[in-house]
Chain A
Amino acid sequence: MRYLPLTHDNRMEMLEAIGAKSVDDLYKDVPKKAFITGLANLPLHKGEMEVEKILSDYANQNHAACDGPFFLGAGCYYHHVPATVDYVIQRSEFLTAYTPYQPEIAQGTLQVIFEYQTMIAMITGMEIANASLYDGATAMAEAALMAMRLTRRNGIVLKGAPHPHYKEVLESYMKNFSDVALQGQVSEETACVIVQYPDFRGELHDLKAIRKECDAAGAKMVVVVNEIVALGMLPAPDMADIVCGEAQSVGLAMSFGGPHLGFMGCRAEYVRQMPGRLCGETVDADGRRSFVLTLSTREQHIRREKATSNICTNQGLCALAFTVHMALLGEGGFKHLAQLNHERACHLADALDKLEGVSVVNKTFFNEFVVKLSKPARDVVDALVKKGIIAGYPVSEHELLVTATEMTSADDIKTLCAELAGVLA
């Protein structure tokens, strides 16, 4: 077995040193009934060639986004990732490091986290950011819990159209507390108002009006972003108290749903109620600038039952991928990419709107919007799959959410329109 270096002689020698006759002597405290008789019900070990064959067979059964025109978004986006990103994140020293608990030999990871925190803070318009959360949906739930701790209130208001999965995750988390309620209206009980920017249907809301409503009720304002590329073009949601969401779009493949990258920024005064890891600047014994995980008195390994969250391992390598991609994009590239996405979406909207039986519903949008179809959206999607097109996400019986990114070509749009016209005819 190629990953197991002990020799037979090593094993014998070690058993002798221990004073045990066999390895099973070392398992003497385990109840007999729990031992597997013989071997577990898995195949026997395989060489690289065989394993590669099995996994490739699985991969080949799937229709990848690069296999045809692709217009699905809805919280997970098909963007281009520069080759450098995947090269850097596979450096052994990043890939196979642990959480940087020994800062003397983890400055690489720590400096990257510090740079990542700075980038997220800048992009969200917040003063500080943490070192990542699992994904956008759990980030939103953590933001709601954080607002509840800050206000000692238990009501949550969702504005506009949140991602349905995000809403479901929030509801699951909140079910643990009998006194927490999703409210229709902002009141004195409201801990926070959550608004998605752009929302699930691609519309943009007036954040200033929501800020006013929050201020009047003493509630916190949480802005959720599930397409972070939008923040390269839209004004920063800097009037919010907490900005959180999903950053998969920068540096990460869609990978059938994960690993993605949850982010969270907030006002500096809320730092002690923030969940997750934080990296801060300090000096070492020689006075050199250094970085270290800090404020861990908020965290489970120190505070146990009094921690702000149970989160431990988060999305470190994904935060690295984000940082590398964002470093390559830079100020100019990030804004350029955002506008390119918007322009492609404008082209898609114009092309679709011309078709018989299709009309664009949105008044505003960034890179995705809803179209109304003359036939059921689910049937249209299934019919287009047969033509090799992934058309979008049905949001209601006759409505389809479609997305364009920098990966969407003029030919893709032309193919979609031609086939869609056929399906709707």
Chain B
Amino acid sequence: MSEVVKLNTQNTNPSAHDPVFEKYAAKIGATRALMQEEPLLFEKEQADAPGVDLPELERKKPRTGLAIRDNIGLPQIKEPEVVRHFVRLSQQNYSIDTGFFPLGSCTMKHNPRLNEKLARLKGFAHLHPMQPTATTQGALGLMYRLQNYLADLSGLPAVCLTPAAGAHGELAGMMTIRRAHEAHGNTHKKLVLVPDSAHGTNPATAIMCGYQTKTISTKETGKLTLEAFKEALGDGHDVAAMMVTNPNTCGLFEPEIDKIVELLHKAGAYFYCDGANFNALVGKIRPGDFGVDVMHFNLHKTFSTPHGGGGPGSGPIGVCEALRPYMPVPEVVRDEDDTYRLSMDREDTSLGRLKGFQGQFGMHVRALTYMLSHGADGLKQVAEDAVLNANYILSQLKDDYHVPFAGPCMHECLLTDKFQKDAGVTTSDIAKTLIEFGIHPMTVYFPLVLQGTMLIEPTETETKESIDRFIAIMKMVAEKVRGGETDIFHDYPLSSPRRRLDEVTAARHPKLRWSAAKDQAAE
């Protein structure tokens, strides 16, 4: 075993087991070297003036017809301390730029800074969504190009850029399907088939569209079998659509998808593909060519726009020609005189508007920048390297961890804690151990089809060296567990800004905001 991954059995939490530090910690604050403790903004020393300088006010009688607002309770801090506050907080975060982040189904790839730079050009950033179109031809042209690229990569000819995130794209896609059924008088179609391995957003979306869901079991093989599908479909009379992630959340491409889609279409139902896993296919395989009718793209996964600690995302949809009339408005069109506009032409058939304005344009700029950087050749290599990396991890860990479904896998691989669990080391312990060794955990306890799942997505932007280090740590854990050394895994992480949290208390007695001390005393 290499020195790098040698198990550290010392408790390295700096605030513990140091008599000098412990004695003075309360008096001088718990901050130590680069482990900077930071109070809430509301608890910091308050300045007597704001952290911005604005022009003087005239203070004439207001024309709001209302009183002027009294105390809000906001803090007041000058710029130097505001900057320190947020820099210190940032240092308590793990990010892609910090290290390996194999979070399954999330595609945590490198986020190029060129994307950020270009999204901030004044001609993009300071553009109002409702300016006359004569003043926004560049922005509309860019969106038109992105629509075309997404159409070409997916094999779905019509693209709507409006949706704000993956789940919003699902909503847009499923509402498109609903409108199509209504237009064809198929209002009896109320049922959406969803495999049990699906992302939680799939069933939640179907319900938000006024549909009911029926679950298809994939527990046996991790795949959608023709048999299970047929059972769920029945005579297909009531079935509006099937929502499937392909490649699926077990990391596998659905091998029977052709036959399944044929039967689905025969029943007059549509195939919605959750595009979360498009990174395995981009530039190489077109979902429209394996029968998909609608899919969403996660620009923040496949096309490298940053995850930002939980958004903003962007979830454009692609739909087949037959569904084009029903997708959301507006859509960017090019007129015969080569000018672009935001078209509401399909207003009569469309499901309508789904977002205040025409989408997360800032993310569109970033995604197009990424596509141009990679080009057709680079994108194909993205998919191939992502798939190669995941299969390599699978090949190296298959003797140490339980592999529930045989490979090859696509761009992520699935393991479980079956071999470790009986010794008392669970998926959660393995995840927290990775934290101790400077790696972000994989996706844990998802998909829900099995106990203790670990979904590992390395992405294409990792070196073999960083993947090998991950493999070495995972092997070390398995080896220690086999040797009966398990106690330490329940304590990890020790060196992170925080150790394991009491999540039960957080949920039982929710404290969702700061309040001034006097309010708290009154509660």
Does A6 belong to the interface (CB within 8 Å)?
A: yes
Q: With a CB–CB cut-off of 8 A, which chain B residues contact A173?
A: 208, 354
B309, A313: Cβ atoms closer than 8 Å = no
Does B122 belong to the interface (CB within 8 Å)?
A: yes
Report if A96-B97 is in contact (Cβ < 8 Å); known contacts: A55-B118, A314-B310: yes
Task: Please indicate which of the listed interface residues A63, A87, A234 has the most CB atoms of chain B within 10 Å of its own CB.
Answer: A63
What is the minimal beta-carbon distance from B374 to any residue of chain A, in angstroms?
Answer: 5
B309, A109: Cβ atoms closer than 8 Å = yes
B98, A93: Cβ atoms closer than 8 Å = yes
B308, A305: Cβ atoms closer than 8 Å = no
Report if A172-B352 is in contact (Cβ < 8 Å); known contacts: A23-B387, A61-B138: yes
A20, B408: Cβ atoms closer than 8 Å = yes
B69, A92: Cβ atoms closer than 8 Å = no
Q: With a CB–CB cut-off of 8 A, which chain B residues contact A355?
A: none
B127, A65: Cβ atoms closer than 8 Å = yes
Task: Please indicate which of the listed interface residues A55, A56, A102, A282 has the most CB atoms of chain B within 10 Å of its own CB.
Answer: A55
Does B191 belong to the interface (CB within 8 Å)?
A: no
Does A424 belong to the interface (CB within 8 Å)?
A: no
Within 8 A of A (CB), among B101-151: 101, 103, 106, 108-112, 114, 116-132, 134-139, 141-142, 149
A98, B75: Cβ atoms closer than 8 Å = no
Q: A1-14 vs B: 1/0 string, CB under 8 Å?
A: 11111110011011
Q: How far is the CA of A90 from the CA of B122 in the complex (A)?
A: 17
Q: Which of B170, B373, B389 contacts A46 (CB 8 A)?
A: B373
Q: With a CB–CB cut-off of 8 A, which chain B residues contact A109?
A: 93, 309-310
B97, A294: Cβ atoms closer than 8 Å = no
What is the minimal beta-carbon distance from A228 to any residue of chain B, in angstroms?
Answer: 12
Q: How far is the CA of A91 from the CA of B16 in the complex (A)?
A: 29
A92, B97: Cβ atoms closer than 8 Å = yes
Q: How far is the CA of A138 from the CA of B209 in the complex (A)?
A: 15
A58, B252: Cβ atoms closer than 8 Å = no
A310, B205: Cβ atoms closer than 8 Å = yes
A23, B309: Cβ atoms closer than 8 Å = no
Q: With a CB–CB cut-off of 8 A, which chain B residues contact A13?
A: 464
Within 8 A of B (CB), among A91-122: 91-100, 102-109, 111-115, 117-119, 121-122
Does B377 belong to the interface (CB within 8 Å)?
A: yes
What is the minimal beta-carbon distance from A24 to any residue of chain B, in angstroms?
Answer: 9
Number of interface residues of A (CB under 8 A): 204
What is the minimal beta-carbon distance from A112 to any residue of chain B, in angstroms?
Answer: 6
B375, A44: Cβ atoms closer than 8 Å = yes
What is the minimal beta-carbon distance from A166 to any residue of chain B, in angstroms?
Answer: 7
Does A246 belong to the interface (CB within 8 Å)?
A: yes
Q: Give the interface segment out of B48-56, B228-236, B474-482.
A: B48-56
Residue of A nearest to B136 (CB): A62
Number of interface residues of B (CB under 8 A): 204
Report if A312-B201 is in contact (Cβ < 8 Å); known contacts: A62-B123, A74-B130: yes
Q: How far is the CA of A304 from the CA of B409 in the complex (A)?
A: 26
Q: A25-54 vs B: 1/0 string, CB under 8 Å?
A: 111111101111001111111101011101
Q: How far is the CA of A370 from the CA of B167 in the complex (A)?
A: 37
A311, B167: Cβ atoms closer than 8 Å = yes
Q: Which of B85, B353, B391 contacts A327 (CB 8 A)?
A: B85
Does B166 belong to the interface (CB within 8 Å)?
A: yes
Q: How far is the CA of A52 from the CA of B121 in the complex (A)?
A: 10
Residue of B nearest to A378 (CB): B132
A390, B121: Cβ atoms closer than 8 Å = no
Q: With a CB–CB cut-off of 8 A, which chain A residues contact B134?
A: 382, 385
Q: Classify the interface of chain B: helix, strand, loop or mixed.
A: loop
What is the minimal beta-carbon distance from B157 to any residue of chain A, in angstroms?
Answer: 12
Report if A382-B132 is in contact (Cβ < 8 Å); known contacts: A42-B379, A96-B306: yes
Q: Give the interface segment out of B2-10, B35-43, B264-272.
A: B35-43
Residue of B nearest to A25 (CB): B408
Does A75 belong to the interface (CB within 8 Å)?
A: yes
Report if A136-B356 is in contact (Cβ < 8 Å); known contacts: A18-B392, A284-B501: yes
Q: With a CB–CB cut-off of 8 A, which chain A residues contact B320?
A: none
Q: With a CB–CB cut-off of 8 A, which chain A residues contact B396?
A: 17
What is the minimal beta-carbon distance from A201 to any residue of chain B, in angstroms?
Answer: 14
What is the minimal beta-carbon distance from A289 to any residue of chain B, in angstroms?
Answer: 9
Residue of B nearest to A226 (CB): B356
Q: Give the interface segment out of A186-194, A211-219, A316-324, A414-422.
A: A316-324
Does A184 belong to the interface (CB within 8 Å)?
A: no
A14, B128: Cβ atoms closer than 8 Å = no
A102, B431: Cβ atoms closer than 8 Å = yes
Q: How far is the CA of A107 from the CA of B116 in the complex (A)?
A: 24
Q: Which of A3, A115, A255 contacts B110 (CB 8 A)?
A: A3
Does B441 belong to the interface (CB within 8 Å)?
A: yes
Q: Which of B208, B286, B432 contacts A36 (CB 8 A)?
A: B286
What is the minimal beta-carbon distance from A333 to any residue of chain B, in angstroms?
Answer: 3
Q: With a CB–CB cut-off of 8 A, which chain A residues contact B96?
A: 92, 96-97
What is the minimal beta-carbon distance from A329 to any residue of chain B, in angstroms?
Answer: 6
A107, B41: Cβ atoms closer than 8 Å = no
Within 8 A of B (CB), among A278-337: 278-286, 288, 290, 292, 294-297, 299-307, 309-318, 320, 323-324, 326-337
A300, B204: Cβ atoms closer than 8 Å = yes
Does A263 belong to the interface (CB within 8 Å)?
A: no
Residue of B nearest to A124 (CB): B72
Q: Which of B141, B167, B351, B506 contacts A292 (CB 8 A)?
A: B506
B376, A44: Cβ atoms closer than 8 Å = yes
Residue of A nearest to B329 (CB): A168
A97, B94: Cβ atoms closer than 8 Å = yes
Q: Which of A271, A277, A315 contacts B510 (CB 8 A)?
A: A271
Q: B183-211 vs A: 1/0 string, CB under 8 Å?
A: 00000000000000001110111111110
Residue of B nearest to A203 (CB): B65
Q: List 7 A-B contacts (CB under 8 A).
A: A52-B118, A59-B122, A62-B124, A92-B97, A96-B306, A103-B498, A172-B351
Other A-B pairs beyond A94-B309, A330-B75, 13, CB < 8 Å = A3-B460, A27-B284, A42-B149, A42-B153, A61-B137, A96-B307, A104-B432, A104-B497, A111-B89, A135-B356, A283-B505, A334-B72, A336-B50
The 9 lowest CB-CB distance pairs between A and B, nearest first, are A257-B357, A61-B138, A317-B308, A333-B50, A59-B123, A316-B310, A257-B129, A330-B76, A92-B97
